[in-house]
Structures are given as C-alpha cells and as structure tokens.
Structure 1
Amino acid sequence: MTTTLHIDNTVRDFDTWKTVFDKFDRMRAEHKVLSYRVSRVREAPDRVFIDLDFATLPDAEAFRDTLRKVTASPQSQALLTSHAAHIVDVVDEQVPGATRTA
C-alpha cells in the first residue's frame, strides 16, 4: 500500500496556481512522489485537492515538512487563501467487478 499526502488548497486563481505547481515537478520527483492527482471542486473551482502518493510514511512526512516551507513563502501566500495537508491511510480500495483474492 502507498501512503498519501492529501492537500486541500483554496487558490486565488487556478491557472496561475497550476503554472507554479507544474514548476515543482522536479522537487516532487526528488522527494519520491510516485504519482499525484489534482482535482477541483465543481461547485467551487478555486478549491483544489492534491493527492501525492509515496511508497513509505517517512517519505510522505519528509515531503510534508518541505511543503510547509514552500507554503510559507511570499509567493505561495499570494496564491493561496487556505492550505491544509494531511497524511491519510487508505483503508479500503476496490475495483468494481474485480474478483477479490484473500
């Protein structure tokens, strides 16, 4: 199982935020991000969820510590109106129609 860092941001302007987010691809790779998903709330498109997957809990914790420094920067503060990051555990994951094996 992977460990996921779930980020809940409210951004001032999605397109500007996304341009900056994309510039951090190298940092994500260097911090062992296996994959990520960016989602927007349909009814509130300024609300953005990012799920970053890691192989281990220590990798996720290290990235969260780095992220705290990034979000404290004046550039990030200008882009965000709110930010929260939580390490979450997947407790159940299923593919509909797939056969379960024990």
Structure 2
Amino acid sequence: MAVLRIYLSVSDFDSWKENFDTDPMDRKGSGVIRYWVHRPIDEPNIALVDLELGSVEQAKAMQAKLQEFWASGRAPIVGTPRTQIAETVDTVELGG
C-alpha cells in the first residue's frame, strides 16, 4: 500500500470540494482504494488529502496525473500544491 498525501491552498474550500467530488481524476480507475479529506480548523482555505493506492507505482502515476491537471489551470487552487508519497508500514485500528 501507498499513500499520496496532498497539501493544497484553495481560494474557496467549498468550491474546491465540489470540484473534488466530481472526480475529474477518476480516482477508482486510477487505483485509489480509499481517501480522506481534511480541513485544518485554523486554516479554512487549506485542503489536506490522503489517497490510498495499492502500490507506489500507482501513487506515482496518480501524482503525475494530478500535476498535469493542476498545470492545466482547470483546478480551483492557489499556488503550487505539495505532494508526498509514503509506503504504508503499519496500520492499527484501536476501535471506538
């Protein structure tokens, strides 16, 4: 497993989320197993996204696809997003 972590600055979180929900990147078709969207409570125009993929290779392909999309100017973002790929080493659910 691999996680593609994305840090975005957006001009309007709700508009960005609406665009994200249309799935312009075909997440499932790109190998995304699950994802999380976070919004820092003290920075409402920041979006933090974790995409879980089956392999590092799939994560790299998705990263490239996203960078192309962001460069096209069609994404409602501000500045240059940051991304990082991490391999999953351990997962523990503590219940609750």
Please state which structure has a larger fraction of its residues in helix: 1
TM-score by length of 2: 0.87
- For residue 64 of structure 1, what is the aligned residue in structure 2? 63
1:1-57 alpha-carbon deviations (Å, 9 max, x no partner): x20000000110001101111111661111010000000001111111000001111
Rounded Cα–Cα distance in structure 2 between residues aligned with 1:82 and 1:14: 16
Contact kept? 1:11, 1:82, Cα under 8 Å:
no
SS in 2 for 1:9: strand
SS in 1 for 2:27: helix
Rounded Cα–Cα distance in structure 1 between residues aligned with 2:80 and 2:47: 10
Contact kept? 1:12, 1:81, Cα under 8 Å:
no
Q: Report the number of matched residues.
A: 95
SS in 1 for 2:74: helix
- Which has the higher Rg, Structure 1 or Structure 2? 1
Rounded Cα–Cα distance in structure 2 between residues aligned with 1:43 and 1:90: 28
- Which amino acid is the alignment partner of residue 93 of structure 1? T
Consecutive aligned runs of 4 or more in structure 1 exceeding 4 Å deviation:
none
- For residue 91 of structure 2, what is the aligned residue in structure 1? 93
- Which amino acid is the alignment partner of residue 67 of structure 1? L
Identity of aligned residues (%): 28
Rounded Cα–Cα distance in structure 2 between residues aligned with 1:21 and 1:82: 17
Rounded Cα–Cα distance in structure 1 between residues aligned with 2:34 and 2:24: 11
Contact kept? 2:35, 2:49, Cα under 8 Å:
yes
Point out where structure 1 has 5 or more consecutive residues left out of the alignment: 98-102
TM-score by length of 1: 0.82
State how 1:32-43 maps to structure 2 within 5 Å.
Answer: 32-43=31-42
